[in-house]
Each structure stands twice: as C-alpha cells, then as structure tokens.
Homo-oligomer: A and B are copies of this chain.
Amino acid sequence: MVKSILFDIDDTLFPSTEFSSLARKNAITAMISMGLKYDFKTLDSKLTAIIKKRGSNYQGHFNDLCRQLRVKHPEKYIAAAIASYHDTKASIQPFPKIPQTLLHLKEKGYKIYAASSGNSIKQWDKLIRLGLAFYFDGVFVTEKGKNTGFYKKILRTLNIRAEDCIMVGDREDQDIKAAKAAGIKTIRVLTGKYSKIPSKADFVLKNPDDLVSIFE
C-alpha cells in the first residue's frame, strides 16, 4: 500500500516553464526600459539562443547578451535584467490546488518527499517561495539528473519498499521511466515543455490539480 509520495518540483508543483519564460521576458523589458536601444524580438531571440547554448543554470546570460551586442557600459542593463528576473522568480506560485492537495495527503497520513534534480539550495528555495516547504518530510536532489540509482538510493535511505512508494512528475524519462525501473509506481502530469511525450506511467493526469482524485 502506498504510504510515501515522491514529487518532482519543476512543472509538477508549479508552472516552472511559464515562470522562466516570463522571467526572461520581464528581464528584456527591464533592459529596454533602462535605455537599451534594441527591440524586444531581437533581444528575446538572442537571449533564447544563449540560454539554449549555455543551459539555464549558467549565471552570465545577460553579460553574454550585452557582449554580443557590444553594449558600452553594460552594467546598468545587466543589473536591471537580473533584478527583474529575480523578482519574477521570487513570485512563483504553485498550481492552484497543490497546497490543499498536499495538506490533504498529510492529513491522510502520507509521507511526502521531493525528488528533484538541480541544486539543492535552489530547489529548497522554490519550495519555500511556493509556501510548500513544511509539507515535505524530506527533499532529495541529484545534480546529475534522476536515474534508477537515484530512486533506489531514496528507497534505501527511507528504508521503504518500492511498492509502498509512488512518484509524481512531468518528465517521462527522469520521473517515470527511471522510477518504474526501480519498481516505484508512477503518476505523469502533462505539463511544461515535455507534455507531448507519450507516457507509460501507471496514471496520467492532464492537470496536476487533479492529483487528489488518484489518492481517494
């Protein structure tokens, strides 16, 4: 019987892809407001290319953008972009019914854990800003991407059996396939940029807000 629920964070608890896109747009708008003489489309396409090339955890996106455009005295544009980007990232909100779903699951006696990839402090930061940190009995983060070994290690650490555990996530590879290979049941939510990829999960939900129905 399922007693422990593992949750992915990005695009499972909150619309991460949308917020990242909004943060990028707001940063560009802030640079233009500060006086940068380029139109939105040019800046957006150049910045998107930089992020694609360097990855989303790279810290110098706006520096690179200004360097490409040979902007003189870029500091004020970079400062405006970073401030706007961070302010947007600081205002993330969970999918509407996630907080009450988590509370409901806690009331029913489930243990709740996050199983996430990326930087540990950054992932905690998201849970805190989403107002969800207190619902989590633990947070597991891997810097390398979630593979079957990652899930097996969680089971060992918590000293629980795979069949007593279920994983909820939006990525077919890291959240579903890797967890299934560890014997864990899976729920796929069709959100974010991977939503079109077909699923072999035990349950598939169009909307993370419908999660509670599975545990009824």
- Spell out A's residues near B (CB within 8 Å): 34, 75-76, 78-80, 82-83, 86-87, 90, 120-122, 124-125, 127-129, 133, 139, 141
Contact = CB atoms under 8 A, between A and B. Distances in A.
B34 A139 contact: no
B82 A125 contact: yes
Given A83-B129, A87-B90, A76 B124 contact: yes
Contacts of A122: 79
Contacts of A87: 90
Contact of A128 (B79, B120, B121, B125): B79
Number of copies: 2
A124 B86 contact: no
Contact of A75 (B34, B76, B139): B139
A85 to B, nearest CB: 11
Contacts of A75: 120-121, 124, 139, 141
A169 to B, nearest CB: 20
A128 B80 contact: yes
6 contacts: A34-B133, A76-B124, A78-B124, A79-B125, A82-B125, A87-B90
The 10 closest A-B pairs by CB, nearest first: A79-B124, A79-B125, A75-B120, A76-B124, A79-B121, A75-B124, A75-B121, A78-B121, A80-B128, A83-B128
A82 B34 contact: no
A184 B60 CA distance: 37
Q: Looking at A80, A83, A124, A133, which has the most chain B CB atoms within 10 Å of its CB?
A: A124
A75 B126 CA distance: 12
Contacts of A76: 124, 127-128, 133, 139
Given A75-B120, A87-B90, 7 more contacts: A34-B128, A34-B133, A75-B139, A78-B124, A79-B122, A80-B124, A80-B133
